[in-house]
Amino acid sequence: MNQRYRSHLFFGIVLGVVFGCAAARAQDVVVIVNNGVKATSASKDDIASVFTGDKSSLGDGSKVTPVTLKGGAVHEAFLKEYIGKGDAAYRTAWRSLVFTGQGTMPKTVDSEAAMVDYVAATPGAIGYVGKGTEHDKVKTLAIK
C-alpha cells in the first residue's frame, strides 16, 4: 500500500468517525410544544400524523401546528425517527399536499434557538430540538 493511499484511507476513517459521532448525538431529539398546549405526552404515531399533515391534533385533542428546522443533523434525526423519510422525500410529500389543496407547508426556521422562540410565541406550535438545546420557554412532550 503506498503512502498516498494510506493517507486517504486514514482521512476517510477520521471523517467517518467524526460524522458518525455527530449523527449519533443528533438522535437525542425532544419534541416541544407551546406552553398553552394541554398535552404532556404523545405517541410516535401522533407526532408522525401531525408532521405529515394527516392530523392537526394530538391524541388528547390538543390542536397543534408543526414547525420544522430547515435542515441539519437534528432535523434529519427527527425525520428518520418519527417520519421514516429523508428531507427530500418529506418536502416532496408536503408539496403534493399543497399542490392538491390538502395542506399548507409547515413553517420552517433556521436554528434550534429560533425553533424554541417560535414555539414559545405561537399558540399551538409543535416542533423539535436537540436535547442539549436550551428550551425552558416551552413544554417538552413525553413520547410513548
* pLDDT recorded at residue 3: 55
C-alpha cell at 114: 429560533
**Cβ–Cβ under 8 Å, residues 69 and 107:** no
Alpha helices in 37-135 (DSSP H): 44-51, 73-78, 87-99, 112-121
Q: How high is the pLDDT of residue 120?
A: 98
> Which CB contacts under 8 angstroms, 24+ apart, belong to 49-56?
50/126, 51/82, 51/83, 51/106, 52/83, 52/93, 53/94, 53/97, 53/102, 53/103
Whole-number Cα distances in Å, 88 to 20, 69, 92, 94, 132: 21, 13, 6, 10, 26
pLDDT of residue 23: 44
pTM, to two decimals: 0.81
pLDDT digits (tens, 9 = 90+) for 9-30: 444 444 444 444 444 343 589 9
Domain 27-143 belongs in CATH node 3.40.50.300: no
Residue ranges in the chain whose pLDDT is less than 50: 5-26
Where in the chain are the domains? 27-143
User: Residues 93-103: pLDDT tens digits?
Assistant: 999 999 999 88
